[in-house]
Amino acid sequence: MSFTLAKTERLAAILSQTPVIPVLTFSDAKSGLETAKALRDGGLTVLEVTMRTPKALEALKAIVDEVEGVTVGAGTILEPEHVQQAIESGASFLVSPGSSSRLLGAASEAPVPWLPGVSTVSEAMQLSERGATFAKFFPAGPAGGPAFLKSLVAPLPELHFVPTGGIDMSNVQDYLKLRNVACCGGSWVAPQDAIDAGDWGKIQSLAKEAAALKAR
């Protein structure tokens, strides 16, 4: 089994801390530190740093080492080597846009929980067969949105989702009200233009608004 009870419980505890997980892309460690502090001060304490830039791991490690009160995961995990790199940088959980046999093998051996992505019923069933209780639903908007997830409640009642992609304050509550949604992921709480401009006040304000949301 790829998903152990211990790691599933740890992931459940992480996801239950927040209605929204900011999905973050950093070009340097300094912007990562300041963004993380602004999000934390706004009430969002679970963060996903995507592995999309050369400085991503450096930013993740800096946040883990220097920003108290946050739980930091590594996103856009695509290869087995990414798993080890993220763990060495201090990631508390891993997130992928999809899943593969190679990733399943690497993630099953990792000491931290993994949130794999799905966008179809077949993918969701395959993960459920392996013991998964949580999956990222990506890209949420193009893949069917809230209506798609609502249709999975009856056939897959044990599987819960973290929809990500195409979500903002205009539609996030449509997801959070669903029984099978644990929380949502999104970049709107820390827009790239605000990060680039160093507008930490704007990010804190957006985080405060998102933190006030309630799941179900």
Known catalytic residues? 48, 136
Does an H or E element contain 32, and which?
Answer: helix 29-42
CB 17 within 8 A of CB 9: no
CB 212 within 8 A of CB 45: no
Max Cα–Cα distance, the chain, nearest Å: 46
Say whether 215 sits in a helix, a strand or coil: coil
Whose tokens are 């794999």? That residue is: 116
Distance CA 41, CA 6 (A): 30
Distance CA 172, CA 165 (A): 11
Nearest to 92 by CA among 104, 110, 80, 76: 110
DSSP character at residue 164: B
Distance CA 63, CA 127 (A): 31
Q: Is the dihedral of CA 128, 133, 139, 140 positive or negative?
A: positive
